[in-house]
Chain A
Amino acid sequence: MADVLTRPTDPTGPTGPTGASGSGTTTRPAVDPRVRRARRRTTRTAWVLRVVAVGYVLALVALPVASVVQHTFADGLAPVWDVLTSEDFLAALRLTTVVAGIAVVLNTVFGVGTGYLLVRYRFWGRRFLSAVIDLPISISPIVVGVALILVYGTYGWFGGALEDAGLRVIFALPGMVLATVLVSLPLVLREVVPTLEEAGIEQEQAAQSLGANAWQRFWRVTLPTIKWALAYGVALSLARSLGEFGAVRVVSGSVAGESQTLTLYVNDSYQEFGPDAQRQAFAAAFVLMAVAVVLIVVIAALRPKEEKA
């Protein structure tokens, strides 16, 4: 029930029946009939809004997700388990975890370090830097992949030289890591910066005046301050990295068992014939979905609950 007007602050209205809008609470101060009328109108509107909101989310998200779960387990648990223990799936899982793990670590280090610099210092190009960091999120993942190929591919700007030095980027792990790092670049930084800004510098200054060096200040003062925002950013970054598809599709050869991430596994399996392949696709999709939901729950737990304010 909408509670836009549940805090009646007007004590001077004429007395009237309490709880007129069916709020269900027992003791209520007298409410101005105009407010009551407005409240009743709002209640009906509130119902409409609620139905629309819930219905929309249901039809768009909840039902399709439920249907995938149902589809995955249509033949029971055993076939799904077979897929989840198959070699190709496990290799894909391994690869995805490694790539996402490295990407998250890199982005966390970058996010915290650069975030700190952006907030605590002033230097020329600060705004430009922050705009550049925000850029990858607006770029299509396909374009991210193409851009990486143009620079690090065999015929790219640096690719030839790198390969001569023995480092292959595209069609290999480094390329996939780079692609994943790019698409989730600002996520940790974005979460950490507002907290750092809010926290202000007083505690750090106090620590300094007590003789702490930069590292101690960072480790003992700054980090604990931002730890929840950091965890939130890491969870977001992890979700994004695990789920990356488009950019990795462009830079990886998708060799099953070797350079095929879980998302590529889902795609490749889906495009094969036969019930086995479809089952593979759905089983892998289910795993990814389950991980995503777990991460969301973690993220929701970490999101500051300001509604109580």
Chain B
Amino acid sequence: MSLLTQDRAAPSAFRRGRRPGELTPGAGLGLGVGVLWLSLLVLLPVAAIVSSAFEDGFAGFWAAVTDAEALAAIRFTVGASLLVTAVNAVVGTLIAWVLVRDRFPGKRVLEVVIDIPFALPTIVAGLVLITLYGPTSPFGVNLVGTRAGVVLALLFVTLPFVVRSVQPVLIDADREVEQAAASLGASGYTIFRRVILPTVLPAVVSGSALSFARALGEFGSVILISANLIGKTQVSSSYILKMIESQDEVAAASVATLLLVVAVVVTVVLDVVQRKAARRG
């Protein structure tokens, strides 16, 4: 997931007498401004969260995250996010496959529809889901206040991540290997397992990391359908909001820090897995 994929020998700078890639004064100034901006915007606020979490020492942090309500929210959120990510890994790959390798009328429309959850405001996504799967559902399916409802909302907002991650890889994939395998008598399943899967696995993994991080912190789309039942459907972001509104900053910051750590850990793990898979494939 790193922004920079290439770390080769640097391109040259634009001033005579400078080593390749060395900052000119102008570039240095620009970098300084950028770093300042980032500090004000990202680093300081994140630091504030972490420091607030430990305002009462480690004991305060621990008490906050082991509070019954907090624990229930964290457990539910992490569990639901993992489930959703697993589903997305499979279904997302499947959908990407259909988009790339299949041809049927209306495929273009499908492409646009898949992007809707990414561009749609989360609160609108929540409204959209609750209209069809809530008390006014024409099917009589009322998922308000159920864990299934929350999982549904998370599936909705994370749909595009794996799909869009895998798609370019499939597009670029070399079909000749598959054809060779087929002509050697390999079954479709074997072709998938031995040829296609290793190719797309890194993309699946990185898309899953995005999906997990997004699901972990999701708020707007979940808040309507979850009904915030403590111990049942309350998600962590909602708990954090409640704590900040109750002026319990330590509790809010502690759970936020924990979530941050979980997201970072999972992302790093998946990044390692992805790189290993990429190397092998």
Contact = CB atoms under 8 A, between A and B. Distances in A.
B68 interface: no
Contacts of B104: 1, 50
A13 B183 CA distance: 10
Interface in B20-59: 20-24, 26-27, 30-31, 33-35, 37-38, 41-46, 48-49, 52
B4 A193 contact: yes
Given A139-B260, A263-B124, A146 B5 contact: no
Interface stretch (A82-90, A242-250, A252-260): A242-250
B interface: dominant SS: helix
B148 interface: no
Interface stretch (A14-22, A130-138, A225-233): A130-138
Contacts of A220: none
B218 A140 contact: yes
B46 to A, nearest CB: 6
Interface string A106-132: 000010011001111111001101111
Given A121-B27, A193-B3, A245-B121, A142 B240 contact: yes
A49 B189 CA distance: 13
> Which of the four size classes fits the interface of chain B?
35 or more
A65 interface: yes
B227 interface: no
Interface string B147-188: 000001001100100000000100110011011001101111
Given A3-B101, A61-B159, A64-B128, A38 B188 contact: yes
Contacts of A140: 216-219, 236-237, 240, 256, 259
Given A60-B155, A266-B124, A50 B102 contact: yes
Interface residues of A, number: 118
Contacts of A64: 128-129, 131-133, 156
Interface of A: 1-5, 7-10, 13, 32, 34-35, 38-39, 41-42, 45-46, 49-50, 52-54, 56-57, 60-65, 67-68, 71, 110, 113-114, 117-123, 126-127, 129-151, 156-157, 178, 181-182, 185-186, 189-190, 193-194, 197, 200-201, 204-205, 208, 214, 217, 239-240, 242-246, 249-250, 262-263, 266-267, 270, 281-282, 285, 288-289, 292-293, 295-297, 299-300, 306-307, 309
16 contacts: A1-B104, A5-B179, A39-B182, A53-B99, A60-B152, A64-B129, A64-B133, A67-B128, A68-B131, A113-B34, A121-B10, A138-B216, A142-B219, A208-B14, A246-B219, A307-B171
